[in-house]
Amino acid sequence: DAMVIQNPRYQVTQFGKPVTLSCSQTLNHNVMYWYQQKSSQAPKLLFHYYDKDFNNEADTPDNFQSRRPNTSFCFLDIRSPGLGDAAMYLCATSRDVGANEQFFGPGTRLTVL
Amino acid sequence: AQSVTQLDSQVPVFEEAPVELRCNYSSSVSVYLFWYVQYPNQGLQLLLKYLSGSTLVKGINGFEAEFNKSQTSFHLRKPSVHISDTAEYFCAVSEIYGNKLVFGAGTILRVKS
């Protein structure tokens, strides 16, 4: 089945230790998104790629970076995780922007010790 | 900029009873509207979307929603809920031709037997 895959599902890191979260898709979609969802809150868009074009949200901290080496993969790098970065990180894809449905992966729950 | 208000953080309801989850939005431009469902420790799944045309939109799992432009609302309804409908429901909005989904804070639907 075509899908959005996130690895790992659970990630534990130490305060200040860089961590990378992975997302892959078999849908061949043009757009890939990263959302941060803190407990009992709505998902918040961090950034998205339209093909190779990177689009950062204005309020996304510099601590968060992303890479998209090819159509299928997208990575979220947190350079120096703080306790406030503990959250569920959701990857999503869409064929295009606008009316197109976004397909979400299962998420990676990040714990910062 | 758009914003979404989900008026109820939690809605308890008995099995086989009807339910309505309320959503109001604010935008200075025309928008598309979406409802997503999130089961525990999973990603978001699209229930239904309104793009244009008929204001009554039918989705998966027996859910439907009605777009009311004058009241800027997009309430989600189901005539008879099941235990399996217990989940968190998010209303979201995006600008037409836009690339960003703005989510409401979510409503937890708890179905009791």
Would you call B61 helix, strand, or coil by DSSP?
helix
Average pLDDT over residues A69-92: 96
- Identify the CA nearest to B78 among candidates B52, B58, B107, B93: B58
User: What's the rounded Cα separation, in Å, for the pair A96 and B46?
Assistant: 16
| Burial (0-12, 13-18, 19+ Cβ within 10 Å), B112 | exposed
Candidates B10, B30, B99, partner chain A, best to mutate (most A CBs within 10 A): B99
pLDDT of residue B96: 81
Alpha carbons B78 and B58: distance in angstroms, whole number: 10
Q: Which residue of A has its CA nearest to B39?
A: A106
Q: Which two tokens stand for residue A104?
A: 């979400």
pLDDT at position A90: 95
Measured CB to CB, residues of chain B less than 8 Å from chain A are 4, 32, 36, 41-46, 49, 51, 90, 94, 96-101, 103-106
Q: Residue A67: which residues within 8 A CB-CB, separation 6 or more?
A: A74, A75, A77
C-alpha to C-alpha distance for A50 and A61, rounded to whole angstroms:
20
| Res A4: pLDDT | 95
Quick: pLDDT tens for B7-59.
999 999 999 999 999 999 999 888 899 999 999 878 899 999 998 889 999 99
Separation of alpha carbons A109 and A92, rounded Å: 15
What do you get for the CA distance between the two ends of chain A, in Å? 36
Lowest average pLDDT, out of A39-43, A80-84, A105-109, B45-49, goes to: A39-43
B66-113 per-position pLDDT tens digit: 999 999 999 999 999 999 999 999 999 988 877 788 999 999 999 999
Complete DSSP assignment for A10-36? EEEE-TT--EEEEEEESS--SEEEEEE
Tell me if B75 sits within 8 A of B18, measured CB to CB. no
Q: Which of B111, B102, B109 is nearest to B37 (CA)?
A: B109
| Chain B contacts in chain A segment 4-63 (CB below 8 A) | 4, 6, 31, 40-45, 48, 50, 55, 57
Cα atoms found within 13 Å of the Cα of residue A97, Cβ hemisphere only: 16
Q: Is the predicted pLDDT of residue A1 greater than 80, yes or no? A: no
At A100, is the pLDDT very low, low, confident or very high (cuts 50, 70, 90)? confident
* Mean pLDDT calculated for residue range A29-46: 92
In the predicted model, what is the mean pLDDT of chain A? 93
CA distance B110 to B87: 7
The pair phi, psi for residue B9, each rounded to 5°, is: -80, -30
Predicted local confidence at residue A2, as pLDDT? 63
pLDDT of residue A52: 93
Does position A98 have pLDDT exceeding 90, yes or no?
no
Residue with tokens 């061949």: A28
